[in-house]
Every structure is written in C-alpha cells, then in structure tokens.
Amino acid sequence: DWSSDVCSSDLNLTVGEYVDLYTIPQKGSATDLAVSHVSITKVDNKSANMSGQVGILVSVQPKDVVLITDAIQAGRIVVVRHA
C-alpha cells in the first residue's frame, strides 16, 4: 500500500475507485504515467477544509512500489481518476 496527500482535490475520491498516478517532472520533461489502475483503500478528508489536501491510501503491486518511488524523486505525483 502507498499513502499520499492529494492537494487541491476536486475528484471527490471514494474507497474502491481506481486511479492512475502520473509524474510531472521538475525539469520540463513530458508527463509520464507511473502506475495505472490502482485501487483506493482509504480516503482521509480530515484536513480538506483547512489545507485543501486529502490523504489517500492505494493498494499497489510490490513491483509498482519502485515505480512510485522513482516518480516521487522525479517530480510531483498527480492522481487522476481511471477512465
């Protein structure tokens, strides 16, 4: 499982939904899909009113942990509802 805060969320995420995680690199490279079709296992809206951030926990395969770690080091992670 991987946990993160989602800033300025207007997605209204719910447990059981699937999302994709994209990287927005710091150095002007193209946006890249880090991990696709991951399930949300927890949504924490406690701080949404104060800071605009929503905490999420997603369930990922062990092989995807390295991809997410690399994406975090490369830039920002963006959560997008899986289509």
| 45-71: pLDDT as tens digits | 776 566 667 788 889 999 999 988 888
Q: Other C-beta atoms within 10 Å of 79: how many? A: 20
User: Is 42 strand, coil or helix?
Assistant: strand
What is the rounded average pLDDT of the residues 30-49? 83
For residue 42, the cross-strand partners are 57
Instruction: Provide Rg for the chain, Cα atoms.
Output: 12
Distance CA 60, CA 82 (A): 14
- pTM, two decimal places: 0.77
Task: Pick the more confident residue, 9 or 30.
Answer: 30
The DSSP letter of residue 11 is S
For residue 49, the cross-strand partners are none
Query: What six digits make up the tokens of 79?
Result: 């959560």
